[in-house]
Amino acid sequence: MINVPKGTKDCLPEESYKWQFVEEKIRKITRNFGVKEIRTPTFEHTEVFTHGVGDTTDIVNKEMYTFLDKGNRSITLKPEGTASIARSFIENGMKNYAMPVKMYYITPCFRYERPQAGRLREFHQFGVEVYGSKEASIDAECIILAKNFLDELGVKVKLLINSIGCKECRKAFNDALKNYLESQLEGMCPTCKDRFSRNPLRILDCKESGCKEIIKNAPSILDYLCKDCSTHFEALKEYLSLAKVEYEIDDKIVRGLDYYTKTVFEFVSDSIGAQGTVCGGGRYDGLIADLGGNDISGVGFAMGIERLLLVMENIGVEIERTDKVKFYLLGIGEEESKKAFELAINLRANGVSTEIDHMNRSVKAQFKYADKINAEFVGVIGSDELANGVVSVKEMATGKEQKVKIENLLEYLL
């Protein structure tokens, strides 16, 4: 037997209604915030991510699915959405669009990680990216959109916010951090030893217990913010308060991607264990320029749909089934079955989901099948019904039975 590759999953017919439910909520909330959908390719030239996400990140260093195509080009399956959207923004001259440009996406992502609950090698992100505004109000709006969406799904989360400043304030902070860490390098993991010279900020994100202990007393980035960055952070907090969105400040949140500046945030759930971050995002004012575009700022977030569904399942959120069949119609005998076939065509064309037999099942087996697929109504055409131009219709929930004239059937079912 051939199985799916490790870390990937089928979405089976019996569970796809859950995805559709989440996707419909995404379309609804983004419409409310004036955010339009963008779709970009599943793979990109590798530089999009090495330049975009950054070459000191785990994503770029360890996790990308990169290969040479038959034309000897280095291609990478998207490990995330942001860098691709930034590439598309530049390539399609979106700087000439009315600003801010607000976009959302639902996309497969690929990361070669160790699979566990809530962590896959192929997963799907719902993300939002907004370009062209430096105002903290737009950072707040992204956070509020994500929060409203999670509320709609019934997912309870904690919002953690931080500011990691701009290039300028980070220089002073990196010096202070290195100063603090220098004497403790011995106790740190090999990855952090490497990070020490390449990107010390990333050490704050380490999950190794030794490093975590050392980081506890590290200096806080918030004490090193320049005036512009600290004003921005204060404004963000004010907007969140105006929106009555509760938050905690966590100065250890630095995120695992290199493009962030100023605002960073995460929504965390405590119901799925280690992989509790359902949503992460922040501001990235240098990304478009780093990828060869103009000096245009950006802010956004992404959440993992599989992780969201896992949280919803663990906390017992009921998702209404939208894949129910309204009507199962069966004919007893050849002519009656043909009539059922004909009526089904008309009913479906008029918006009533209808199923008929294609398995040559007995009447009893057909009733059983109708029950199994949860049909709301079951109709029978026997010889009497055929002769009198009626269908015997049973409403399954109440058991109520009625003979309905064929010309009235559509109206009855609607």
Q: Which residues bind ligand HAM (CB under 6 A)?
A: 80-82, 111, 113, 118-120, 123, 125, 127, 129, 256-257, 277-282, 300-304, 306-307
> Could you tell me if 235 and 252 are in contact, meaning their C-beta atoms sit under 8 angstroms apart?
no
Q: Which helix (H) or strand (E) holds 44?
A: strand 43-45
Shortest separation between residue 170's beta carbon and ligand HAM, angstroms: 18
Shortest separation between residue 142's beta carbon and ligand HAM, angstroms: 8
State the Cα–Cα distance between residues 304 and 268, nearest whole angstrom.
12
Phi-psi region for residue 72, left (φ > 0), alpha (ψ -120 to 50) or beta?
A: left
Q: Which is nearer to ligand HAM, 120 or 347 (CB)?
A: 120
Shortest separation between residue 86's beta carbon and ligand HAM, angstroms: 9
Q: Which is nearer to ligand HAM, 116 or 350 (CB)?
A: 116
Residues 6+ apart with CB under 8 A from 335: 386
> Could you tell me if 317 and 151 are in contact, meaning their C-beta atoms sit under 8 angstroms apart?
no
Shortest separation between residue 259's beta carbon and ligand HAM, angstroms: 8
Shortest separation between residue 215's beta carbon and ligand HAM, angstroms: 19
Shortest separation between residue 369's beta carbon and ligand HAM, angstroms: 37
Q: What are phi and psi of 256, to 5 degrees?
A: -95, 15
Could you tell me which of 120, 61, 107 has the C-alpha nearest to residue 307?
120
> Could you tell me if 288 and 308 are in contact, meaning their C-beta atoms sit under 8 angstroms apart?
no
Shortest separation between residue 130's beta carbon and ligand HAM, angstroms: 9
Is residue 102 helix, strand or coil? Answer: strand
Q: Which is nearer to ligand HAM, 120 or 160 (CB)?
A: 120
Cα separations in angstroms, 29 against 1, 117, 379? 42, 27, 39
Q: Which is nearer to ligand HAM, 221 or 404 (CB)?
A: 221
For the chain, give the longest Cα–Cα distance.
95
Q: What are phi and psi of 280, to 5 degrees?
A: -140, 150
Q: Which is nearer to ligand HAM, 151 or 213 (CB)?
A: 151
Place of tokens 């010279």: 197
The secondary structure of residue 293, as a DSSP letter, is: -
State the Cα–Cα distance between residues 124 and 302, nearest whole angstrom.
10
Shortest separation between residue 120's beta carbon and ligand HAM, angstroms: 4
Could you tell me which of 252, 156, 178 has the C-alpha nearest to residue 213?
252
Q: Which is nearer to ligand HAM, 195 or 339 (CB)?
A: 195
Shortest separation between residue 309's beta carbon and ligand HAM, angstroms: 11
Q: Which is nearer to ligand HAM, 160 or 279 (CB)?
A: 279
Is residue 303 helix, strand or coil? Answer: strand
Cα separations in angstroms, 94 against 67, 90, 302? 30, 6, 21
